[in-house]
Amino acid sequence: MPDNRDEFFVGYFPMPARLGQFYKVLVALLLCLGAGFAFWVSSAQESAGKGQWNVADTTRVSGFLSVDPYPVLHTTGANPRSIMLLRQGKHSAGAFTDALDGAHVDVTGFSIERGDWMSMELRSNDDIAVSKAPDGASVPEIEPLTTVTLQGEVVDSKCFLGVMKPGGSKVHRACAALCVAGGIPPMLVVKQTDGGRYGYLLVDQHGNSAADEVAHTIAMPVAISGQLERRGDLTYLHLADKGIQRL
């Protein structure tokens, strides 16, 4: 006569065959569910970006310096770039550059790059020196563009370009606020339809840093209205009066 009694697990006896088979299936199922949940959670996270902060080696570049509204080095040649200049820590490079507006200089620092953007972190006055300009080269002219209203997030450009990951969103708000207050150029980051991002350096109505105007909207979704202008390969957004609206 067959034994119809339920199998019963006793710790000091071997696992019953039918009960062991059940737990094998259960464990495999739980592992699959756990892996699927982990993949879903990770894929739902916003990318921190591909910014790089090279602190292993310094980079040396040459170009014309403009200091208003933010220190920028405009390189010349076949592939000119506009490189934002910053100090170590949460500081503007203005203390090193203000007396050299319009000069051709050699700059040595740590490069910070994300996509087409580049900035350089300087350590002291010794990292910048006047040099001979190439014949026929000059500081690029300011090109006025259109009036716009753009939606995005205000970030500090230094961390967003690669010093911090993530360099945006509310988890980075406190750091971004300190950077902007210290002179790091604030930037409006706008998501593009292709998933990429475009950044606009923010300037007030008088052509100065917009740090005070954006202080209470950093890392928040906002709509900003104003006039666009381009200098080199950087685009600036001059805020209109009452041009910032929280969303």
- Where in the chain are the domains? 52-130, 142-246
Q: pTM of this prediction?
A: 0.79
CA 246 to chain CA centroid, Å, is 21
CATH class held by domain 142-246 = mainly beta
* The pLDDT value given to residue 3: 56
Domain 52-130, CATH among 2.30.29, 2.40.50, 3.40.50, 2.60.40: 2.40.50
* The pLDDT value given to residue 6: 62
Residues 6+ apart with CB under 8 A from 227: 144, 145, 146, 147, 237, 238, 240
* The pLDDT value given to residue 171: 87
The CA distance from 57 to 110, in Å, is 7
The CA distance from 241 to 236, in Å, is 16
* The pLDDT value given to residue 47: 61
pLDDT tens series, the chain, 247 aa: 455 556 666 777 777 777 778 888 889 999 999 998 888 876 666 665 677 888 889 999 999 999 999 999 999 888 899 999 999 999 999 999 999 999 999 999 999 999 889 999 999 999 999 999 988 888 888 999 999 999 999 999 999 998 988 778 888 999 999 999 999 999 999 988 776 788 999 999 888 999 999 999 999 999 999 999 999 999 999 999 888 999 9
Q: Which residue has the tokens 């706008």?
A: 190
The answer to whether the 52-130 and 142-246 domains have the same CATH topology is yes
